[in-house]
Chains A and B, each alone.
Chain A
Amino acid sequence: MCQGPDLRVDYDVAAALRHEGLKPHDYDEICRRLQRAPNRVELGMFGVMWSEHCCYRNSRPLLSSFPTSGHRILVGPGENAGVVDLGDGQSLAFKIESHNHPSALEPFQGAATGVGGILRDIFTMGARPIALLNALRFGPLEDERNVGLMEGVVEGIAHYGNCVGVPTVGGEVAFDSSYSGNPLVNAMALGLMETDEIVCSGAHGVGYPVVYVGSTTGRDGMGGASFASAELTKASLDDRPAVQVGDPFLEKGLIEACLEAFKSGDVVAAQDMGAAGLTCSCSEMAAKGGLGIELDLDRVPAREVGMTPYEFLLSESQERMLFVVKPGQEQSLMERFIRWGLQAAIVGCVLEEKVVRVLHKGEVVAEVPANALADDTPIDRHELVSDPPLEIQAKWDWQEDLLPVVGLKGINLNSHSHFGSNLSWDEILLKLLDDPTIASKRWVFRQYDHQVQANTVSAPGVSDAAVVRLRPQQGKGSVDEVNRGVAAVVDCPNRWVFLDPERGAMAAVAEAARNLSCVGAEPLAVTDNLNFPSPETPTGYWQLALACRGLSKACKTLSTPVTGGNVSLYNETRLADGEIQPIHPTPVVGMVGLVHDLANVCGQAWLEPGDLIWLLGVPIDTTVAVDPRVSLAGSSYLECIHGVVTGRPPEIDLKLECLVQSFLRNSITNGFVRSAHDLSDGGLAVAVAECCIAANFGAHLELPSSDARLDRLLFAEGGSRILVSVSSTQAVAWQKVLNQANTASPGSVFAQYLGVVTADEELLITQAGNRLVQLPLNQLRECFEQAIPRRMGLDLSSSV
């Protein structure tokens, strides 16, 4: 314990530290910084500010390796959201954030407030929110608890997003047993800047009034940040007061009032109250501005009587913001908020002295140097093991030749397989389309209003990335005025990250950029959400460190800097037998891109029978000498059909990725490519089926003669592959373009002709005259569309 004269406290230090999630050495450090012992209120403030959620105490050294600058980056990590320059006087604020732990306990409110929080990060910067996306993970739907969690989460997201009037335009949902009991809910928001100046959070102007706006402060969400930084146990259910309750109606008013207020130029700094509420917003504003803030709790609009200073400071009541305002303008500013039915009050002022001073009933109840809370926060260093964990090394030993022998008709499975002994390629494809991770997510996205604001060019399920038109929100406008848009996507191949965190994370970035390129958008920047188990185990830290290394490498090579994000650790559940079940490490990559001409946006669906189908990326093998960039290791096929998650995911060739993507974007711009869809879970067969289902046209693919395994040709993953369709009338010109591309970068043949779009309502895949797959479209669609509703106990077909 620390030395000094003033260490007497009126509380049980050990118990208080446990309650705040702090460690004994943190307490020593707090005493050192204050030159005295903290009182109980101050200790609570340190508890939330020094949690992983607020200060990245485990992950900060790893995050520092991310590339964060570039010619389009206006604001990088550290502010409420990143901002990129879109040209033409427009800029885009965007960020992703998790609400995993609250959603595990109270899925509806947990997810709803996740949406509310990420929206506030966007409009705090002065941007009007124009789109929402989300990345969700659940345990298998065969367990009704997971059905309940998914229903609640989707409904919570829908409730908040729909009501607040921001379209939910895209996302991803995946399932794995590691997420049972610890679902992941990551929400991403995009905002278009309408004000000339970005509103930052650093306070300035000594003596300037500090104004509180929005909702009242209640006892909800007490200590949510420290709760979010601990593992989930059965006892966590008792922490339900740590889950906040959201009010999207208030948030809608807050958006309008804030954007009006920012336009007036009277707000010199703004910070939303998210994690750690008043404590965080005051200390961050003060620390970033190099000044202090005095806060009088008696003036804070309270939801209930008798709240203690501790409760005021740690409340995570939603829909609240703190401003520093130009003196003399506070009344007119507050009137804007009152007009929208919101609270507004002067609660303090900016101090020259660099402290956060909190008053309650005329007494100073906390006084802490601002930077002691917000700057130089402690770092928990962990040792990175030099070799992959043994259980992972064992998985890397898996090779494709361990699989049973395949024939033209299908595969002969081991007798212990739950599918019986033989499966045809048709049956395997249908099983993959019935896998909820692969299947249509229509059950989810039809609950989201994806059209409000009248700018959604690509609705969910139509293209590989969402596309939203960049229409100025101010002014009258006309239809011909704008032809630019932004594209956005979230991606994470969690099974690959689990098997190889570095390759998996690289693949997440590569796939996100590929999805943007598929709609014709130029990838610009990344926001990442690192969802990981505890970093305190050697494997946990190895996963986190290697995933960060992979993200960093891929973001550098693909020129998509990281502008911020969120870290959510301790995503694990303590099972009834005491065993810890960690989640698959899940670094979700949110990426935004610029669409220069909306007229060229590509969807997944074929446009016309007779169009030619080409495969970009690593071509289909024709010999047994397999390309290491494509593999069945870690594939959906291996998991869904053979019941194993094993193998080392394929090598990620970032150079090839860049080449393929820029070639694709040019081909879209030049009008050659009419549809584009990347190969992901389930490989070629699933991708071609999805293009057919979307188009309601069939396809006939003729695979090249090959000595490689047929399951590898049909279902292998990796290789930066994209299926595109090209009009038959442009066949000659397209061939010329390909030749030119190959001359420009010799040796990298990356386009292979595979077949044609047909008017037959059938998918046919042949090789050397043998029919491998032959399935009617309605059977493909039935599997694909009903996989999730069937497991939710519903039938969607009755209400199409």
Chain B
Amino acid sequence: MSIGVVVFPGSNCDRDVRWAAQGCLDIPTRFLWHESRDLNGLDAVVLPGGFSYGDYLRCGAIARFAPVLESLVEFVARGGRVLGICNGFQVLTELGLLPGALTRNRSLHFICEDALLTVESNRTPWLKGHQRKDALTLPIAHGEGRYQCSDQTLCQLQDDDAIALRYVNNPNGSVADIAGITNKTGNVLGLMPHPERACDPVIGGVDGRGLLQSLLG
């Protein structure tokens, strides 16, 4: 039983996810170098925050061609759980595992601060420990976190009950205050806030613990 944390060149929250999962929550964790294809023995995979491959071109646009992600697509098809945080969320949309896109914040500035969120759906395993409309405080730290999608996609997300988290005070201009979404089957979650930064009481709140704990089902 363990989770894998993908390391792209330019990932910078990979160690933080390991610290939160393993150091704070005792979840065995192993790093997956972007060139590896071996996901055997993993219960879940985390795509961490950072600037994969420098985020040149477009956030996540190059990362999606990484060998590890070919295996990841199969992993998802088999029902494996995948959590994409921040840059990881961007990669999941580029990869087509989640709909929509993440663009420059409305203010055009990077924003790092605590964000107040509400749980919009506890249908998926990620948030099953929460009630609908529960409040969570998780840090955000991104320059390109403005979720955008077509009206049709938004309707689909609503129909699928796939909007997982919403901002209370929308910081970046996201459509419908969306902070995180899941795929239709619910085994893939992408979110801009950083649950791994909210697991350790020494550095802040612990509202991220439930999300990471659900990685092991």
Q: Are A452 and B141 in contact (CB under 8 A)?
A: yes
Smallest CB separation, B10 vs chain A (Å): 5
* A155/B109 contact (C-beta < 8 A), A162-B143, A249-B54, A451-B139 known: yes
> B118 on the interface (CB 8 Å rule)?
no
Smallest CB separation, B105 vs chain A (Å): 9
In the complex, residue of chain A having the shortest beta-carbon distance to the beta carbon of B108: A155
> B99 on the interface (CB 8 Å rule)?
no
Q: Pick from A250, A452, A456, A473: contact of B13, CB below 8 A.
A: A452
Count how many pairs of residues, one from A and one from B, have CB atoms less than 8 Å apart in the complex.
105
Q: Are A252 and B110 in contact (CB under 8 A)?
A: no
Q: Are A253 and B9 in contact (CB under 8 A)?
A: yes
Q: Pick from B9, B20, B112, B194: contact of A340, CB below 8 A.
A: B9
Note all chain A residues with C-beta closer than 8 A to B196.
Answer: 454
* A451/B197 contact (C-beta < 8 A), A162-B143, A249-B51, A252-B10 known: yes
> A163 on the interface (CB 8 Å rule)?
yes
Note all chain B residues with C-beta closer than 8 A to A478.
Answer: 23-24
Q: Pick from B12, B109, B204: contact of A452, CB below 8 A.
A: B12
Note all chain A residues with C-beta closer than 8 A to B152.
Answer: none
In the complex, residue of chain B having the shortest beta-carbon distance to the beta carbon of A454: B16
Q: Pick from B16, B141, B170, B202: contact of A479, CB below 8 A.
A: B202
Q: Pick from A446, A473, A598: contact of B111, CB below 8 A.
A: A446
In the complex, residue of chain A having the shortest beta-carbon distance to the beta carbon of B14: A165
Q: Are A469 and B203 in contact (CB under 8 A)?
A: yes
Q: Are A799 and B197 in contact (CB under 8 A)?
A: no
Compute how far the CA of A164 lies from the CA of B12 in the bound complex, rounded to whole angstroms.
7
* A252/B16 contact (C-beta < 8 A), A162-B143, A455-B203, A479-B24 known: no
> B53 on the interface (CB 8 Å rule)?
yes
* A452/B16 contact (C-beta < 8 A), A476-B22, A477-B23 known: yes
* A800/B51 contact (C-beta < 8 A), A450-B112, A454-B200 known: no
| Total count of chain A residues near the partner, CB < 8 A | 39
Q: Are A451 and B141 in contact (CB under 8 A)?
A: yes
> A457 on the interface (CB 8 Å rule)?
yes
Q: Which of A237-274 contact B (CB under 8 A)?
A: 247-250, 252-253
In the complex, residue of chain A having the shortest beta-carbon distance to the beta carbon of B23: A477
The number of chain B residues touching the other chain, given as a range, is: 35 or more
In the complex, residue of chain A having the shortest beta-carbon distance to the beta carbon of B113: A446
Q: Pick from B53, B107, B139, B204: contact of A799, CB below 8 A.
A: B107
Compute how far the CA of A479 lies from the CA of B54 in the bound complex, rounded to whole angstroms.
31
Note all chain B residues with C-beta closer than 8 A to A473.
Answer: 15
Note all chain A residues with C-beta closer than 8 A to B55.
Answer: 163, 249
> B50 on the interface (CB 8 Å rule)?
yes
Q: Are A249 and B10 in contact (CB under 8 A)?
A: yes
Note all chain B residues with C-beta closer than 8 A to A479.
Answer: 23-24, 200-202
Smallest CB separation, B156 vs chain A (Å): 28
Chain B 18-41 interface mask (CB, 8 Å, partner A; 1/0): 011011100000000000000000
Q: Pick from B20, B111, B171, B202: contact of A469, CB below 8 A.
A: B202
Q: Which of B195-217 contact A (CB under 8 A)?
A: 196-197, 200-204
Note all chain B residues with C-beta closer than 8 A to A450.
Answer: 112
In the complex, residue of chain A having the shortest beta-carbon distance to the beta carbon of B56: A249
In the complex, residue of chain A having the shortest beta-carbon distance to the beta carbon of B197: A451
Compute how far the CA of A471 lies from the CA of B111 in the bound complex, rounded to whole angstroms.
26
In the complex, residue of chain A having the shortest beta-carbon distance to the beta carbon of B28: A476
Smallest CB separation, A483 vs chain B (Å): 8
Q: Which of A435-469 contact B (CB under 8 A)?
A: 445-457, 469
Q: Are B54 and A454 in contact (CB under 8 A)?
A: no
Compute how far the CA of A383 lies from the CA of B103 in the bound complex, rounded to whole angstroms.
58
Note all chain B residues with C-beta closer than 8 A to A455.
Answer: 203
Q: Are B110 and A449 in contact (CB under 8 A)?
A: yes
* A163/B10 contact (C-beta < 8 A), A451-B141, A479-B24, A479-B202 known: yes
Note all chain A residues with C-beta closer than 8 A to B113.
Answer: 446
Compute how far the CA of A591 lies from the CA of B50 in the bound complex, rounded to whole angstroms.
29
In the complex, residue of chain B having the shortest beta-carbon distance to the beta carbon of A164: B12
Q: Are A453 and B202 in contact (CB under 8 A)?
A: no
Note all chain A residues with C-beta closer than 8 A to B111.
Answer: 446-447, 799
Q: Are B51 and A248 in contact (CB under 8 A)?
A: yes
Note all chain B residues with C-beta closer than 8 A to A447.
Answer: 109-112
In the complex, residue of chain A having the shortest beta-carbon distance to the beta carbon of B141: A449
Compute how far the CA of A447 lies from the CA of B13 in the bound complex, rounded to whole angstroms.
17
Note all chain B residues with C-beta closer than 8 A to A457.
Answer: 202-203
In the complex, residue of chain A having the shortest beta-carbon distance to the beta carbon of B12: A165
Note all chain B residues with C-beta closer than 8 A to A249.
Answer: 9-10, 51, 53-56
In the complex, residue of chain B having the shortest beta-carbon distance to the beta carbon of A158: B110
Chain A 470-487 interface mask (CB, 8 Å, partner B; 1/0): 010100111100000000
* A476/B23 contact (C-beta < 8 A), A165-B12, A454-B196 known: yes
Q: Are B9 and A451 in contact (CB under 8 A)?
A: no
Smallest CB separation, B23 vs chain A (Å): 5
Note all chain A residues with C-beta closer than 8 A to B49.
Answer: 452
Q: Are B53 and A449 in contact (CB under 8 A)?
A: no
Compute how far the CA of A457 lies from the CA of B19 in the bound complex, rounded to whole angstroms.
15
Q: Are A247 and B203 in contact (CB under 8 A)?
A: no
Q: Are A799 and B171 in contact (CB under 8 A)?
A: yes
Smallest CB separation, A463 vs chain B (Å): 14
> A341 on the interface (CB 8 Å rule)?
yes
Smallest CB separation, A441 vs chain B (Å): 13
- Provide 15 A-B residue pairs closer than 8 Å at the C-beta atoms, listed in order of the A residue: A155-B110, A162-B110, A165-B13, A247-B54, A249-B10, A252-B12, A341-B9, A446-B111, A446-B112, A448-B112, A452-B141, A454-B20, A457-B202, A469-B203, A479-B24
Instruction: Name the 7 nearest CB pairs between A and B, nearest first.
Output: A165-B12, A249-B54, A454-B16, A449-B141, A163-B51, A477-B23, A447-B110
Given contacts A249-B53, A249-B54, A471-B19, 15 further A-B contacts (CB under 8 A): A162-B110, A162-B112, A163-B50, A164-B12, A252-B51, A446-B109, A447-B112, A448-B112, A451-B139, A452-B141, A454-B196, A473-B15, A476-B22, A479-B23, A479-B200
